[in-house]
Structure 1
Amino acid sequence: MKLQIQGPTSRYWAALGVLLLLLAWQIAAQRLGSLLMATPWQTLQALVQLLGSEEFHQHGLVTLGRIGLGVGLGCTLGSCLGVLAGLDARLRGLLEPLRWLLMAIPPVVVVVLAMLWFGLGSAMVVFISVLMLAPGMYVNTVKGMLLVDRGLIEMAHVYRLGPWQRLRYLYVPALAAPLTAALLIAACGGVRLVVMAEVLGADSGAGFALANARSTFDSAGLYAWTLLLLLLVAGLEFSLLQPLQRYLSRWQVAAHA
């Protein structure tokens, strides 16, 4: 029996959901007026103009670099600490208060503190992203490590498997599902965090451009930047995260074949 995750029927319903969202957007824009909400067509026209402008290259590439650096460092730090904490209960207990503190503190407070410590710029934005994304990756990694069968761990010790072999054949299959789900959440959350930090206290980037469009009542430009960020998240999910999920979960598909 083959494991089928998504079939043609679900894609048809997803396409219908997109059409319903566009219809609701059009109706809301007509009721609110162009000053408050641009229509989908106006947003698409503004997006085409934006992609060919110097503003896109100036602010868009800056945000893309911050997202890549912040998400990459946050996910790497959280997953590495999670693996170590999953192997050592003492380290797990030592990191638990810090994990709770970072997950409980509001992001706005972190933004304010980062602005005081680093000023405006990329360092502040990347610091916020790493600090907010690492705990989620840490928690999911630790849970995946603790779900590994104790009997398999004892068997690995009996056969004297090295650390790399245990990580590859024992822990990676157990971490595949929680880590890919955490990566998806981190990518989406990373985009939101970076843009929020740029809106509140950066002098460049997509969030800075969004704040400028809001202050000048450029509704079409505001929604064009928003649509561009949504397309970025979609591109990350479908071109990077879903292929990675299929690669890491290939043993599960083989087991159900």
Structure 2
Amino acid sequence: MTHHTTAMAEVRPATAEPPPGAGSGTPPATARTRRALSRRVRAFGRGALPVAAFLLVLVGGWQIVAVRSGSVLIPDVPAVWSALTDIVTQPLFYDSLGATLLRVGLGFALAFVTAVVVGIAMGRVEFVRRFFEPAVLIGLTVPGLVWALLCVIWFGVSLTNPVVAVALSAAPALTLSIYQGTRATDSALREMAHVYRFSVWTSLRYLWLPSLLPALFSGARLGLSLAWKVIVLVEMFGMSSGVGYELNNQFAAQNVAGVLSWTLLFAAVLAVLEYGVLQSLERRLGRWRKATAV
């Protein structure tokens, strides 16, 4: 009997100790999920607070200027908000936005493919660099208005008009960014690809594109900003639909609130693309850099 009691006493301490997380009643996986969610909420708060403060200052400053001026050319915030809600509730807004996004998307895709090929070639081959350098310089210095007018004259009211105009305006900045990123790529990686005789596709997929991610995203941001400006001009001068066309209609009617509303909606779409698409994609594709850094 004494031997049996002693054995039970030896066993009890080992089984009496609760598993991790049992005391709180929360499974470890759930606790980790909550901590991760809490970190994301805090990170979102840190990123959203400055943006909210900027918007508050902008709206408040505009309202003060509008009230003090008392001019119909500077509508106050309620008037702009009323015009904005009227636009959003109409199907015309979504049709116009869809047409503009399609044109920008096609033009930017053409510019991106061209810039990747030419930019990497410029960074690798001296003759190619000297050959395309004047073209890149001319493309960077020519105003977007010139590309818009020329494409309207050359292609008329067709899909080719805005696509080519967007590509011509976005490609030089993208090409320059990719060229600089190519020159900054680790020489040891380039030598490894040469020694192992990587094919063009293998080198592009496993060497150049991962190495050029920062240059690609910085160039994409600059190229998209130029593309948006040019597409508005093209739609103003040579198209019968799109955001630029609607902006021109509001300008012709001397509707300042309408012009501001279309502009704000256009800026909101750009913000969604930047914060919701580009930054998310950049974080996802750049995870391997953080992993290797650790």
Aligned equivalents of 1:197 and 1:31: distance in 2? 36
2:257 corresponds in structure 1 to: 220
- The structure-2 alpha-carbon separation of the partners of 1:34 and 1:223, relative to structure 1 and needing over 3 Å to count, comes to farther
Letter in 1 for 2:89: G
Matched, 1:171 2:208: yes
- Cα deviation, 1:87-109, whole Å, max 9, x if unaligned, reads 32222221112112221222222
- Which piece of structure 1 moves more, 206-215 or 42-51? 42-51
Q: Identify the residue that residue 27 of structure 2 maps to in structure 1.
A: none
CA distance in 2, matches of 1:121, 1:51: 26
1:113 aligns with 2:150: yes
- Residue 72 (structure 2) pairs with residue 14 (structure 1): no
Deviation at 1:236, TM superposition (A): 0.8
Q: TM-score, normalised by structure 2?
A: 0.78
* RMSD of aligned residue pairs (Cα, Å): 2.1
Aligned to 2:282: 245
Query: Is the deviation greater in 229-238 or in 65-74?
Result: 65-74
The one of 74, 81, 85 aligned to 1:37:
74
| Cα drift, residue 8 of structure 1 | 4.4
For 1:30 and 1:40, how far apart are their aligned partners in 2?
A: 10
CA distance in 2, matches of 1:109, 1:187: 18
> Percent identity of the aligned residues?
31
Contiguous gaps of at least 5 residues in structure 2: 1-42
The structure with the larger Rg is 2
User: Residues 105 and 41 from structure 1, CA distance in 2 versus in 1: closer, same or farther, beyond 3 angstroms?
Assistant: same
Deviation at 1:23, TM superposition (A): 1.0
8 Å CA contact retained: 2:145, 2:230 = no
| Partner Cα distance (2:279, 2:67) in 1 | 36
Structure 1 segments unaligned to the other structure (5+ residues):
1-5
Give the whole-Å Cα distance in 2 for the aligned partners of 1:122 and 1:162: 36
Q: Deviation at 1:203? A: 2.4
Instruction: Provide the rounded CA distance (Å) in 2 between the counterparts of 1:49 and 1:64.
Output: 21
Partner in structure 2 of residue 206 of structure 1: 243
- Cα distance in 2 for partners of 1:129, 1:224 equals 24
Matched residue, 1:104: 141
- Provide the TM-score with structure 1 as the length reference: 0.88
Aligned match for 2:219, one of 182, 185, 189? 182
Taking the aligned partners of 2:85 and 2:44, their CA distance within structure 1 comes to 33
1:183 CA drift (Å): 1.1
Cα distance change, pair 209–33 in 1 and its aligned pair in 2 (3 A): farther
Residues 178 and 22 of structure 1, relative CA distance in 2, 3 Å threshold = same
The aligned counterpart of 2:17 is none
Question: 1:40, 1:184 → 2: CA distance?
Answer: 30
Deviation for aligned residue 1:121: 4.2
Q: Does 1:145 align with 2:182?
A: yes
Per-residue displacement from partner, 1:120-167 (whole Å, max 9, x unpaired)? 343222221110101111111111111112222223323344434433
Q: Tell me if the contact between 1:67 and 1:191 (Cα under 8 Å) persists in the aligned partners.
A: yes
Look up the equivalent residue of 2:117 and give its one-letter code: C
Alignment of 1:44-123 (within 5 A): 44-123=81-160
Q: Deviations over 1:141-199 (max 9, x none)?
A: 11111111222222332334443443333322320111111112222222121112222
CA distance in 2, matches of 1:34, 1:64: 34
Aligned letter for 2:205?
Answer: R
Q: Which of 196, 202, 222 is the matching residue for 2:233? A: 196
Please say if residues 136 and 182 of structure 1, whose CA atoms lie closer than 8 Å, have aligned partners that are also in contact.
Answer: yes
The offset of 1:241, in angstroms, is 0.6
Equivalent residues of 2:152, 2:234 under 8 A apart: no
Please say which of residues 194-203 and 154-163 is displaced more in the overlay.
154-163
Decide whether aligned partners of structure 1 residues 108 and 149 sit closer, same or farther in structure 2, where only a CA change above 3 A counts. Answer: same
Q: CA deviation at 1:7?
A: 7.2
Larger RCO of the pair (alpha carbons < 8 Å, separation 6+) = 1
